[in-house]
Chain A
């Protein structure tokens, strides 16, 4: 158990809908990262927050957004969903701001868009 929790575990929705994925980092960790894992694209970094502020951005679509709240939990919002958004979404956390810091991954949320 990494100490990172993600909810929900599974999500099934329809095209055009909007969903919110939630992540609670390990106790004391200030950075939260979001990744998308799909068969064709592999594991792609989406975005990082450090202590409430956006720190780094990867291949995140404009339809996706994220935030980190004062209690350090984070939410990833996916809107106008398309079939191609079906994937596993992982959250990770680390103590510090650098991506070279050890990242601890949650179990993931599997999103299926029908």
Chain B
């Protein structure tokens, strides 16, 4: 079935550091790919998405490119802020078990220190 693997955390960075969170996927067909973010005590929010190969999703300084050849969708940000501290989830939407479902990775906790 479809699955998502993302780098284990936690990740701790200083403010203005460069961020990469790796995400790879296994899926049949042509899934859509997502990054969701969960701030402490809140539900998930969509951060960015890409629906086909070579698409780049971007939002709030975060970027991720849908790479079909490496089945990856790594999240990057050039300069993180304390307010970026949260748990980040990579996800894919695709057909599995006869219906279209959203499958999440286990999440990566990011802490940014001032």
Give chain A's interface residues, CB within 8 Å of chain B. 2, 4, 33, 42-45, 48, 55-58, 90, 92, 98-100, 102-108
Interface of B is mostly: strand
Chain B residues in contact with chain A, CB under 8 A? 31-32, 36, 41-46, 49, 51, 89, 93, 97, 99-107
A-B contact pairs, 29 of them (CB 8 A): A2-B43, A2-B45, A43-B44, A43-B89, A43-B104, A43-B107, A45-B103, A45-B104, A48-B101, A55-B99, A56-B99, A56-B101, A57-B97, A58-B101, A98-B93, A99-B93, A99-B101, A99-B102, A100-B31, A100-B51, A100-B93, A102-B46, A103-B102, A105-B43, A105-B44, A106-B43, A107-B42, A107-B43, A108-B43
Main SS class of interface, A: strand
Give 3 closest A-B pairs by Cβ, nearest first.
A105-B43, A56-B99, A100-B93
